[in-house]
Structure 1
Amino acid sequence: MKLIARDMYLDRLIARMDNGMIKVITGARRCGKTFLLFDLFEDYLRSQGVDDEQIIEVSLDDLAYEQYRDPVRLAEYVTSRITGSRQYYVLLDEVQYAISDQELHGDKPPRLYGVLNGLLRKHNVDVYVTGSNSKMLSTDVMTQFRGRGDEVRVRPLSFAEFMQVYDGDVQHGWAEYVVYGGMPLMVSMRTDEQKTRYLESLFVETYVKDIMARNRLRRSQELDGLVDVLASSIGALSNPAKIKAAFDSVLHSKISVNTISQYIEYLEDAFIIEETRRFNVKGRKYIGSPKKYYFEDVGLRNARLGFRQVEQTHIMENIVYNELRARGYNVDIGVVEQRGQRDGRSYRKQLEIDFVANLGSQRYYIQSAYQLPTEEKVAQEKASLLGVDDGFKKIVLVRDVMKPMYDEHGILTMSVYDFLLNSQSLAMW
């Protein structure tokens, strides 16, 4: 199989080398963190003249390294390998295995964090760790590592990464990606049956079981029901109260709003879903509930629903969201208030911009329109963008192949393929 170059993430690791901080590589199980660290990054180190003796790698999910799940033994092993004054690179994979269940649910910091902080005190050691639970690592970057943690978030394959190994044209690649997504192992499978079985098993046997064990849940029925509700409503405004109503009417469950909120947090911690908030563009403030939820990988979302609800419009919106997040943007739902007079009476309504993407001083307003078959549809998609009076770029994405084109209002319409396949697409036209 052709090697997938994950340059965006590799560049982020390279930019953080020897910066005196713990590089915390997070992301969902099976999204490619180990390959990034142990293959791509190690190959880069060797290309820069780093000897094998200077690279200390421990795969804590491998039974061959089971003894090092004890933080004391792990510290002893790593320290024993540091025998000179040269720079050493410590690569620890799936470090949640070195945190006991008692430590995870206790009041004191896990001993592992003391080990990692101890390694940082050595002037010739650069530390990289991977993990699959955001609560154990992402939030701890800001607390237990005392400001010396630096997170690199890894996601499933983007469409551009997927097309590196897809044997076909972009339209057929899109058709495949929309259904099966970008989990790295999946792209090596030849048949629809293999892909379907893999994604369905991955969701149940890995993600659900991990969440159950990590959070000490005894029954999966309510968690399963919540995942199904969220999967059925990507791109739609929702909140725990609305989800509870769906449970009451369809599943006849007595699950509480608080439990739903907690389960949503568990799914976010496992990197299965992400929430995005609404932002009042003119008022420059966030609006509370409802929010939107998007899946980290559309293939996993489709597998959860038995591949029965592959709605192109919503899936494209989810893919666009994932791409913006992978590029490092903070993403909100834009809300624009429109006022006017109709039949002698005042009216006020809220128009929605699919995505407000921010990165430093950059901002883009983006509509994921899928198709614009009529002038009425064009006007509908652009109405909210026309309600924004600042100077930031406004973009409408469509699935059709077309040359990027500005209209008389300065709104750019471009193909989603051009957007996804060129990392500089937002700025170049």
Structure 2
Amino acid sequence: MEIARDQYLNELDSRRWNGMVKIITGIRRCGKSYLLFNLFKDRLLSEGIDPGDIIEIRLDEIDAVSLRDPISLYEYVRSRTLDGRRRYVFIDEIQMVSKIKNPHIEGGEDITFYETLNSLLNTGYLDLYVTGSNSKMLSSDVLTQFRDRGDEVRIHPLSFFEYFSAKGGDKQIAYRDFLTFGGMPRILSLNSDREKADYLKRLFTETYIRDIRERHNIEHPEVLEGIIDFISSNIGSLSNPRQIASHFKNVSEGTVRTYIDYLKDAFLFSESQRYDVKGKRYFSYPQKYYCEDLGLRNARLNFRQQELTHLMENAIYNELRIRGYSVDVGVVTLNAKDSEGRSIRIPKEIDFIANRYEEKVYIQSAFAIPDDVKLHSEVDQFKHTGDSFRKIVVRNDVGNRWFDGNGVLHINVIDFMMDKELI
């Protein structure tokens, strides 16, 4: 089954020969290699590019072990491109290249894959594309190493639009399956629920946790797994490392914070900060955490906690990230009176503030709004943002989309997930 991933394919296409290293990042098994070595390669071949002008290196395969040395990798690519012909170079799992001591300068800086890629880029006739599964590849020090010549293309597990486009059938059934088993591409090729569940459980344990433990030499693996369980059980709830640390004996807040950073670096979870809409500042804590893939989250919890309200909120968050938005939790403070008539200030939450360039959208996730009291609680804070950016309530209990008297759009969650042009 071929899954169309046109959004990412077009992003790669638009970056051809831009003088930068295209770095495709994302959680392992989300389709990075497929995007590069299948979809993008097929597009190049369809345009008449000679297959010999596409150099493919898969560093996670046994016949590429010798190329996990930065100098050996450089020499290999150069040996195949000495004629100066313009070529495309694809390198899979670039983070597997180890750093080595500079053999020519005693006590000098280590040689890493950054130097390899920068040197290849400097030839002027190679267009470089690499994949990686660690977000630290895109930290500020790495971008400095690339001298502003690294260009990230972040990909995610399948969106519901991609999932349904491949699966077809009844949208409601597909949506429920998506909330249960998520969007890891291999899920679509498995037939039974048992196969899907077993695959996701193995993936979590044998790939993600093992990777993190080996990469970071985890001293307290039981704490790491406890943090995973806590975050998975509390998606969309306010929490912070100190609160999480309190659930363990003799574990410091610093250790918890470090382990959470490891989980974020592996793209398993992401963090959404609280933002004071009118004060225009971020709160230091607490934050909300969301899972990159709901199927992985559910598998981790053995499919026990299936609260549709939380799953829907996480799915909307992921959808906004897929569409290229940074996502914060909004806070507006309302003036009110207590039971004795004294003035008080009440903080109210807006589930998501989605930002992209100069665009901003306020979004509430509401599984159901059965009465006017609930409606008021969901939309009242929109009136106090002090701006005219769009406001949307994504719901499970409406049919056709409609605008209320305050200009707030109410839309069914499936329509929201399928309508890529809405925002």
Question: Normalising TM by the smaller chain, what interval?
Answer: over 0.9
Change (3 A) 1:82 1:59: same
Q: Deviations over 1:190-236 (max 9, x none)?
A: 01111111101101100001000110114421100000000011010
How far 1:84 moved relative to its partner? 3.5
Count of aligned positions = 418
Report the 3-state secondary structure (helix = DSSP H, G, I; strand = E; otherwise coil) of the residue aligned with 1:289.
Answer: coil
1:371 aligns with 2:368: yes
Q: Which amino acid aligns with 1:288?
A: S
Counterpart mapping for 1:281-300 below 5 A: 281-300=277-296
Report the 3-state secondary structure (helix = DSSP H, G, I; strand = E; otherwise coil) of the residue aligned with 2:217.
Answer: coil
Unaligned runs of at least 5 residues, structure 2: none
Change (3 A) 1:22 1:140: farther
Match of 1:59 in 2: 58
Match of 2:336 in 1: 340
* Residues 401 and 417, structure 1, Cα contact 8 Å, conserved in 2: no
Query: So what's the TM-score if we normalise by structure 1?
Result: 0.94
CA distance in 2, matches of 1:269, 1:164: 30
* Residues 134 and 265, structure 2, Cα contact 8 Å, conserved in 1: yes
Report the 3-state secondary structure (helix = DSSP H, G, I; strand = E; otherwise coil) of the residue aligned with 1:58.
Answer: strand
Match of 2:79 in 1: 80
Counterpart mapping for 1:93-242 below 5 A: 93-100=92-99, 108=109, 110-242=111-243
Match of 1:320 in 2: 316
* Residues 87 and 125, structure 1, Cα contact 8 Å, conserved in 2: yes
CA distance in 2, matches of 1:168, 1:325: 26
Q: Which amino acid aligns with 2:292?
A: E
Report the 3-state secondary structure (helix = DSSP H, G, I; strand = E; otherwise coil) of the residue aligned with 1:195.
Answer: helix
CA RMSD of aligned residues (A): 1.7
Report the 3-state secondary structure (helix = DSSP H, G, I; strand = E; otherwise coil) of the residue aligned with 2:387.
Answer: coil
* Residues 156 and 322, structure 2, Cα contact 8 Å, conserved in 1: yes
Change (3 A) 1:365 1:107: farther
Report the 3-state secondary structure (helix = DSSP H, G, I; strand = E; otherwise coil) of the residue aligned with 2:135.
Answer: coil
* Residues 109 and 144, structure 1, Cα contact 8 Å, conserved in 2: no
Unaligned runs of at least 5 residues, structure 1: 248-252
How far 1:377 moved relative to its partner? 1.2
Match of 1:404 in 2: 401
CA distance in 2, matches of 1:51, 1:8: 25
1:243 aligns with 2:244: yes
Match of 1:250 in 2: none
Name which of structure 1's ranges 164-173 and 325-334 shifts more when overlaid on structure 2. 164-173
Match of 2:419 in 1: 422
CA distance in 1, matches of 2:110, 2:12: 26
Q: Which amino acid aligns with 2:379?
A: K
How far 1:354 moved relative to its partner? 0.4
How far 1:177 moved relative to its partner? 0.5
* Residues 141 and 151, structure 1, Cα contact 8 Å, conserved in 2: no
CA distance in 1, matches of 2:377, 2:345: 16
How far 1:146 moved relative to its partner? 0.8
Q: Deviations over 1:71-102 (max 9, x none)?
A: 22211111122143432111000011112599
How far 1:111 moved relative to its partner? 2.2
CA distance in 2, matches of 1:109, 1:327: 38
Q: Which amino acid aligns with 1:36?
A: L
CA distance in 2, matches of 1:102, 1:370: 56
Query: So what's the TM-score if we normalise by structure 2?
Result: 0.95
CA distance in 2, matches of 1:122, 1:142: 20
CA distance in 1, matches of 2:376, 2:283: 26
CA distance in 2, matches of 1:42, 1:273: 30
CA distance in 2, matches of 1:141, 1:315: 34
Name which of structure 1's ranges 161-170 and 34-43 shifts more when overlaid on structure 2. 161-170
* Residues 70 and 98, structure 1, Cα contact 8 Å, conserved in 2: yes
